[in-house]
Amino acid sequence: GQQLNQSPQSMFIQEGEDVSMNCTSSSIFNTWLWYKQEPGEGPVLLIALYKAGELTSNGRLTAQFGITRKDSFLNISASIPSDVGIYFCAGRNVLQGAQKLVFGQGTRLTINP
């Protein structure tokens, strides 16, 4: 099925470092969402973006909705051990009448203490 292109696929960083990941699509979306998933759990919503160019923060997390509406970025500042997990971007295009979310393949974040 259709998926977004998310990169990098995995990241190995030191505690305290900043993290950046992004998501691109060939289709326009009018909503971008970022989720975090830990082993054995469902995705947990981190940030939702509704307008092109929008920049939204949630604590140490900052996400942006790209101007072209075909991409989004997530940054994590000063990483800590509990940031470990898989981060997914998800897009939605309600203008096409679709309520469903289309997900990226995920970015697996590993932190070395």
Partner 1 sequence: GAGVSQSPRYKVAKRGQDVALRCDPISGHVSLFWYQQALGQGPEFLTYFQNEAQLDKSGLPSDRFFAERPEGSVSTLKIQRTQQEDSAVYLCASSLRRDAYEQYFGPGTRLTVT
**Given the rule CB under 8 A, which residues bind partner 1?**
1, 3-4, 6, 31, 33, 35, 40-45, 48, 50, 88, 90, 92, 94, 98-106
DSSP 100-113: --EEB--EEEEEE-
CB of 33 to partner 1, least distance (A): 7
Please tell me whether residue 95 adopts helix, strand or coil conformation.
helix
Question: Which CB sits closer to partner 1, 40 or 113?
Answer: 40
Q: How many residues does the chain have?
A: 113
Smallest gap from residue 97 Cβ to partner 1 (A): 9
On whether the CB atoms of residues 53 and 67 are closer than 8 A, the answer is yes
Nearest approach in angstroms of CB 17 to partner 1 is 24
Tokens of 14: 């030191």
